[in-house]
Amino acid sequence: MNQPEVVMIGLGYIGLPTAALIAQNKTYVHGVDINPKVVDIINEGKIHIVEPELDIAVADAVKNGYLKAGTTPVEAKTYLIVVPTPFKAKNEPDISFVEAATRAVLPLLKENDLYIIESTSPIGTTEKMMNLIYSERPELIKKLYIAYCPERVLPGNVMYELVHNDRVIGGVDDGSTEKAIDFYKQYIKGDLHKTNARTAEMCKLVENSSRDVQIAFANELSLICDKADINVWELIELANKHPRVNILQPGCGVGGHCIAVDPYFIVSDYPMESKIIGAAREVNNYKSFWCAEKVQTAKLEFELKYGRKPSIAIMGLTFKPNIDDLRESPAKYIAQKVLQKSNNEECFIVEPNITDHKVFKLTEYKEAVEKADIIVFLVAHDEFKTLEISSAKIALDFCGVFKQKI
Ligand SMILES: NC(=O)c1ccc[n+]([C@@H]2O[C@H](COP(=O)([O-])OP(=O)(O)OC[C@H]3O[C@@H](n4cnc5c(N)ncnc54)[C@H](O)[C@@H]3O)[C@@H](O)[C@H]2O)c1
């Protein structure tokens, strides 16, 4: 492989597709991951994650010599940081991966290099990393281009959205913004919007917080409707007939590594000012707890009525329909709660999008429905919508598979 132009630190759900896209455009990319298994798989031209069309892109890029992976970075002109940014205890953002990745490239940086963070980050992270770089390499002060550019792709459609979505790009100064725009415009057809680093960081957090707040509104309605004996699905459909109203759908909570996480990055730093954002997180978390309690009540009612313990089917574990991703999944939390409170009731856990799980013993979905007395719908997977549930069974539809009253 020729001298790489781009070093991509972090080869996960975002870093690997981005590396493959850049390499497909005949730019030499050196991908870095601390996980040697990931590195080996990629160097074989294969992938370690599920994402349509990514396998072909990576196989081509590796075969043609434009993409190579390793566990340590090498010298390049552009460094992209795409490592995880989870939260710690007390819901505080953990930027230690970004810092570790930055420290790894620090010794390699030279005049006119471009350093970009794509990881979802709390406000001020890019400036913090700039200060870290300049404190360790003072000879480079004002001689680097440093920018932030968040990613907003939809898992399952990443290879298309990477190219076609608009991007927000913010440098620590105007020169950095321009340099980063010039970099991305080689690969991206969507519009590239200029701003500063802090606004770009906040923009990503706000996009996901906005979704979280809107889902919290729908979840709050579902709690009110349950008490008021109203079908929330019908209510929302009717309210949305108003030309300027667009209420989202309730569910069993909010999950995933973005919407359920990113709002905390704002609340943690601005607790007094972010009341609605914080309350939305609480409502969405409470909804999962409430669902678990509802299952418990249904079990007790069944036992009282029939004098025996019910068997239960838990339908779905992923954080949204038709994917295999369980990160921060409220359905997984509810399944755990139901199992913890299980008093020797038979429990069938269903997740058609994964083959096995190290904690849950999975059951085929039709078999689970056949055997269970209480069927708890947590994720509206397509398969479930074709099921016919006998009226002799109790169905708790928390995610609108049949849009029945809970
Ligand atoms: N997945 C998404 O849909 C999505 C969308 C938008 C933004 N993001 C953000 O993008 C960032 C990356 O997310 P992801 O989903 O790709 O994460 P991921 O967990 O799939 O991948 C991250 C990779 O980085 C590697 N890594 C960790 N520390 C490293 C280090 N110091 N050096 C080299 N490699 C290291 C890990 O081994 C892992 O393979 C996060 O900040 C996330 O919030 C993700």
- The one-digit pLDDT tens for each residue of the chain (406 residues) are 678 999 999 999 999 999 999 999 999 999 999 999 999 999 999 999 889 999 999 999 999 999 999 999 999 999 999 999 988 888 899 999 999 999 999 999 999 999 999 999 999 999 999 999 999 999 999 999 999 999 999 888 999 999 999 999 999 999 999 999 999 999 999 999 999 999 999 999 999 999 999 999 999 999 999 999 999 999 999 999 999 999 999 999 999 989 999 999 999 999 999 999 999 999 999 999 999 999 999 999 999 999 999 999 999 999 999 888 899 999 999 999 999 988 788 999 999 999 989 999 999 999 999 999 999 999 999 999 999 999 999 999 999 999 876 6
Identify the residue whose C-alpha is closest to ligand 1 atom 44.
14
49 CB contacts (<8 Å, ≥6 apart)?
Answer: 12, 13, 16
β-bridge partners, 9: 32, 81
Query: In CATH, which superfamily holds the domain spanning 6-205?
Result: NAD(P)-binding Rossmann-like Domain (3.40.50.720)
Phi and psi at 84, nearest 5°, equal -65, 150
Domain boundary assignment for the chain: 6-205, 212-397
For 338-361, the DSSP string reads HHHT-SS--EEEE-TT-S--SSSP
Told to judge if 405 belongs to the known catalytic residues of this protein, a careful annotator would answer no
In the block, residue with structure tokens 């299980």: 342
- Token readout for 373 is 């007395």
Q: Cα(14) to centroid of ligand 1, in Å?
A: 6
Q: Cα(35) to centroid of ligand 1, in Å?
A: 12
From 80, 83, 326, the mutation candidate for ligand 1 (largest count of ligand atoms within 8 A of CB) is: 83
Q: How far is CA 319 from CA 57, 119, 285, 313, 360, in A?
A: 27, 20, 13, 17, 16
Q: Which of 149, 225, 258, 399 is catalytic?
A: 258
73 Cβ below 6 A of ligand 1: no
Q: Which of 68, 149, 179, 204 is catalytic?
A: 204
**Torsional class of 53: left (φ above 0), alpha (ψ -120 to 50), beta (otherwise):** left
Task: Give per-residue burial for 317-345: e unless 16+ CB within 10 Å, then b.
Answer: bbbbbebebbebbbbbbbbebbeeeeeeb
Q: Cα(185) to centroid of ligand 1, in Å?
A: 23
The architecture of the domain spanning 212-397 is 3-Layer(aba) Sandwich (3.40)
Identical fold between 6-205 and 212-397: yes
Identify the residue whose C-alpha is closest to ligand 1 atom 4.
14
